[in-house]
Amino acid sequence: MMFGFGRSSTPKHNEVTAQELHELVEAGRALVVDVREVNEFAEGHIPGAVNMPLSGFQPSQLPDAGGKTLVLNCLGGKRSGMALDKCSTAQTVVDTHLAGGFNAWQSAGLPVER
């Protein structure tokens, strides 16, 4: 048997869709952490999101979500996945990101804050 080759069918991070995240945010059950760079965040982001660019991302600096689910997002899902890898290495209990990132959020026609 070979180990470590190919992709497993189960994603290693929990993913929520744009619509699911919108419902969680509206219900006050999620805090969004956007790991895009400051200039990208300024151009538009999910309302209420906190900006923590991946370039300086430290799991220990994540905000206290006050019992809410912390959900990471970036533009397409790659950088938020990288940030989640850092969280799992640091054994932080953050394991969820937005499938398709901010692009999916905008495509769903959900509100954007600038």
**Is 23 within the bounds of a domain?**
yes
Sequence-separated (6 or more) residues with CB below 8 Å from residue 28: 68
Is 97 part of any domain?
Answer: yes
On whether residue 74 sits in a domain, the answer given is yes
**Domain of 18?**
14-107
Answer with the residue of higher pLDDT: 7 or 56: 56
Structure-block tokens of residue 79: 């950088």
Position 51 in a domain: yes
Residue 74: per-residue pLDDT: 98
Residue 60 lies in a domain: yes
What pTM, to 2 d.p., does this model score?
0.89
The confidence band for 9, taking pLDDT boundaries of 50, 70 and 90, is very low
The 3 state secondary structure assigned to the chain is: CCCCCCCCCCCCCEEECHHHHHHHHHCCCEEEEECCCHHHHHHCECCCCEECCHHHCCHHHCCCCCCCEEEEECCCCHHHHHHHHHHHHCCCCCCEEECCHHHHHHHCCCCCEC
Q: For residue 70, is it within any domain?
A: yes
101: Cβ contacts below 8 Å, ≥ 6 apart = 73, 74, 75, 76, 77, 78, 80
Indicate which CATH number applies to the domain containing 72. Answer: 3.40.250.10
pLDDT tens-digit profile of 58-90? 999 999 999 999 999 999 999 999 999 999 999
Count of structural domains, the chain? 1
Residue 2 belongs to a domain: no
Q: What is the pLDDT of residue 12?
A: 79
Mean pLDDT within 36-58: 98
